[in-house]
Chains A and B, each alone.
Chain A
Amino acid sequence: MLGKIDREFAFLEKAIKLRTFRQELIASNIANADTPGYKAKDIDFANALSGAVGNRGDLALSTTHRRHLGPAEGSAMGAQVLYRLEKQASIDGNTVDTDTELANFTDNAVRYQAELTFMNSRIRSLTSAMQTR
């Protein structure tokens, strides 16, 4: 019974977790806008989400030797962290474009709040289903 309720929320929960990770990545980009040699990073959200929903993200290879390859490092939900294609790199090797990053940051924040709204309405509909007699 409770497992079914859990399944109701699984998709949005994964989406929100990925949004949080992406928000942190973009925050790192903006924070390092003046760091020499820093390369801007991001994830392909649609790809990462379909990976996470298809349960690819939660599967970790069992490693029996310390030199075995583990899951993607420095990432969340198995998302693949990619370097952003540079528009105009600085002479010090930094590829952060603050305007692009800020746009992405805001976009991600709005979508995060949208997902929270969906989550809220799902909670509300479940609650009302429970209260109906």
Chain B
Amino acid sequence: MFKVFDIAGSAMTAQSQRLNVVASNLANIDSATSSDGQVYKAKQVVFETTPLSKAQRNVAGVRVREVVEDTAPPRLVYDPTSPFADGNGYVTFPNVNAVEEMVNMISASRSYQTNADMMNTAKTMLLKTLQLGQ
């Protein structure tokens, strides 16, 4: 039963990492440049199943395998007065899609809540087990 805590905990870590990435994407939605001069690229997390032990491969948590950059084309806005405008007067903005990020955010927070609920249930069950025979 203690494994439920490990499983739910790994999922909560992964989902909060996803939430962090969403926050980073949304915060940079209007960043026309960055500290290294390149325009920001939207980032997405990739989840991976991780078995808790070799003996029981079916009981598995989850972790973030990698953070990949979105390959969608950047958003071009015509603004010749901007200092970041190119020769044709276009400013390159990050390829962040606000709607997608909001959906991602809600999905991540729902998953996080479900896993927290799961942990609560497991805790109740364990406490009941500890009272066995009393």
A binding-site residues for B, Cβ under 8 Å: 20-21, 23-25, 27-28, 30-36, 38, 41, 73-76, 81, 98, 102, 105-106, 109, 112-113, 116, 119-120, 123
Contacts and interface: CB of A to CB of B under 8 A. Distances in A.
B7 to A, nearest CB: 4
B11 A116 contact: no
Given A28-B59, A109-B124, 20 more contacts: A21-B59, A28-B7, A28-B58, A30-B118, A31-B60, A34-B15, A34-B18, A34-B62, A35-B48, A35-B49, A36-B47, A73-B57, A74-B51, A74-B57, A76-B56, A106-B121, A113-B128, A116-B129, A119-B132, A120-B133
Q: SS class of chain B's interface: helix, strand, loop or mixed?
A: helix
Which are the 5 A-B pairs with shortest beta-carbon distances?
A31-B11, A74-B57, A74-B58, A35-B47, A27-B7
A30 B49 CA distance: 12
Given A74-B56, A123-B133, A31 B125 contact: no
Q: SS class of chain A's interface: helix, strand, loop or mixed?
A: helix
B99 interface: no
A117 to B, nearest CB: 9
Contacts of B124: 109
B114 interface: yes
B133 A31 contact: no
B2 to A, nearest CB: 9
B1 interface: yes
